[in-house]
Amino acid sequence: MSATPETRRPVLETTTTWGARLALLALVALLAAALSLADGKKHKLSKDLDALKGSNSGPTVDVIIQFNQAPTDVHHQKVHSKGGVLKSKMDLIKGAHYSVPVGSLDALADDPDVAYISPNRPLSGTSTLDYGAESVNAPVAWQQGLDGTGVGVAVIDSGVTAVGDLYWWIPANQTYGSRVVYSQNFVPGATDASDQYGHGTHVAGIIAGAGWFSTGSNFTHTFKGIAPNANIINLRVLDQNGVGTDSSVIAAIQTAISLKSTYNIRVINLSLGRQVYESYTLDPLCQAVEAAWNSGIVVLAAAGNQGRNNSGGTEGYGTIAAPGNDPYVITVGAMKTANTPTRVDDTIASYSSKGPTAFDHVAKPDIVAPGNQVVSTLAPNAHLLSTPTDVYLNEYSNSTTTTTKNKKKDSTSSLTTNAISTSYLRLSGTSMATPVVSGAAALLLQQNPNLTPDQIKARLMKTASKDFPANSTVTDPTTGITYIDYYDIFTVGAGYLDIAAALANNDLADASTASPTAVFDPTTQSVSLVTGSSVVWGNSVVWGNSVVWGTNVFVDGTSVVWGNSVCWGSSTSDGFSVVWGTGVVWGSGTNQTTSTAQSITLEGEK
């Protein structure tokens, strides 16, 4: 369902008290917003793009221009007349990707047909399957014969190499074939869609790995994906270093929509992200994921890995990455399985980013799933191969000799204490949690192909487990810093994914499931969750707050959760922009996203 003024109309849901200083900040924010809107030209240029005008950024800049209507040749010619060069069309978001002179930005913003201009921003991947499937009750689905058969999942990432675990195999007649049914590259200057980085293949294995290379009497654990027979549509947008751009991701999303019927693409997995620079209503990346959602595709996005960031005094709150800040998609945070199949000892990963979102203050993440120390499929010769990611075969072996099934022949190798798997690697991050939920969505869609994206989201959130401790702590062995996490709506969303409960549920949401917004009321000194009048949350007992988010929606405003500077920032009118600082959070003075990339180098929490 598309976002309209009607669906965004506030309806009071639940309140709790926050600090009194928010009243002044809220008034300042409103005043700043009014001034910004009064300056139409400034409003049309994103802040990071506006800043380029006074920098030594070079004579031209790559931008994404969104228009008030789908651009025609007339619009492209107008940009060309100002020195711009069309690089690719983006009809999906009523826009296009251009290279334009920095000096022409103001003139372009003056055009009444132009809605918004932003840079073609860089982004990257947000990075154990060991007991992840068991922790979310995936085996219950497998016992029911649900394995993702017939459902296409688009993995928009660093590419997917068709390794053995991503093959289907019929032992009876020794026939096999790849379940990577389509591949396309969107990385400029490259043609190969295979995974040269290692992130996308790992993500694909979490969704649909069959576990062939860890199956047999010699293994103590099978590394099997959540929907082990789903088809993978490989859309490569990240290069060999795990870096990409908005325009590549938008092009891949548009391709996924166009191929929806051909490959029954019902799910898009986005284990990538970047900093939030503006409202999701203006961000071209968010507009693209909304278009996919409106086309009937469930979109999953990583929350980000900035939960430990306290540069703004917010204890990691307000650090959700884009496009996970969009209220329509399902945004996923990361849990730790404690290396056991039960859920009772599972806790939130301290690096998992927390809401509310920057600018719009949307309540995120929506749900959490296992994402720490995940073992999944390895792309040969990928750049991610390094000691912290190694999986030692003797960790999961019952003997000194291991036989692995190859599609063409069996191979036997002796295990030593230093024998490293050539089939699996271990990564941590919300990148790894996101495909767990993507696999769950595929199982629900196999069970009931008529479910809409909103109904999938509502069912997953309502049935998520809400049985958490009041708080948990972890001490970083390297720095000695202890991190405390509280299990409120901005940390764990609606709860911990429970596939068995979701499959057993028959409730059908009959309206939009856009995530609610947290709003401060200076007159009552309270914070409320608000939704649109046409949004399902709060419409009935079935979808009420206490049902979906549990009884402890908020933690009291005087607690450490909000810190002394409060989540809205202590000296900014933008709301949460204090969190980003001056390039500290997202890299050293550049716009390149490093938050999500940290997941690849994180050794994970114990």
Is 412 among the domain residues? Answer: no
55 and 182, same structural domain?
A: no
Q: Does any domain span residue 508?
A: yes
Task: Indicate whether 76 and 174 sit together in one domain.
Answer: no
**Of 119, 146, 172, at which residue does a domain stop?**
119
The tokens describing 352, both together, are: 């998992």
Separation CA 364–CA 491 (nearest Å): 8
How far is residue 371 from each of residues 44, 54, 236, 323, 501, measured CA to CA in Å? Answer: 38, 41, 22, 19, 20
Same domain, 101 and 149: no
Cis preceding-peptide flag for 323 (omega within 30 of 0): yes
Residues lower than pLDDT 50 in the chain: 1-38, 127-129, 399-417, 556-603
36 located within any domain: no
Q: What is the pLDDT of residue 16?
A: 37
Q: What is the Cα–Cα distance from 260 to 266, expressed in whole angstroms?
A: 7
**CA pair distance 513, 417, nearest whole angstrom:** 50
Is residue 133 domain-shared with residue 112, that is, in the same domain? no
CA 376 to chain centre: 18
Say what the pLDDT of residue 394 is. 53
175 and 46, same structural domain? no
**pTM listed for this prediction:** 0.82
DSSP track, 490-545: HHHTT-B--HHHHHH------SB-PPPEEEEETTTTEEEEEE-TTBSTTSSGGG-H
Among 69, 85, 119, the domain boundary falls at 119
Same domain (yes/no): 88, 153: no
Alpha carbon distance 563, 196 (integer Å): 42
Q: What are phi and psi of 512, to 5 degrees?
A: -65, 150
Residues 257 and 353 in one domain: yes
For residue 195, what is the enclosing H or E element? Answer: none
Query: Is residue 296 domain-shared with residue 359, that is, in the same domain?
Result: yes
Q: What is the CATH number of the domain that holds 163?
A: 3.40.50.200
Phi-psi region of 66 (alpha: psi -120 to 50; beta: other; left: phi over 0): beta
Lookup: tokens for 553: 């929606």
Task: Look at strands 85-90 and 95-101 and give their pairing.
Answer: antiparallel
Q: How far apart are CA 66 and CA 64, in angstroms?
A: 6
Widest pairwise Cα distance in the chain: 73
User: Do 285 and 263 share a domain, yes or no?
Assistant: yes
The parent domain of residue 508 ranges over 123-378+426-450+457-471+483-601
SS3 54: coil
User: Would you state the structure tokens that stand for residue 600, as one six-digit string?
Assistant: 């690849």
Tokens matching residue 294: 């409106």
Beta-carbon contacts of 38 under 8 Å, excluding residues fewer than 6 positions away, are none
Task: Classify residue 402: in a domain, yes or no.
Answer: no
Confirm whether 93 is domain-assigned.
Answer: yes
pLDDT in tens, 556-574: 433 333 333 334 433 333 3
Whether residue 417 is contained in a domain is answered as no
Note whether 208 and 152 are same-domain residues.
yes
Instruction: Tell me: do 153 and 80 sit in the same domain.
Output: no
CA–CA separation, 382 and 240 (whole Å): 8
Of 95, 119, 143, the residue that ends a domain is: 119
* Look-up of token digits 């928010």: 22
> Would you call 58 helix, strand, or coil by DSSP?
coil
- Is 14 among the domain residues? no
Residues 272 and 294 in one domain: yes
The domain that holds 61 is classified in CATH as 3.30.70.80
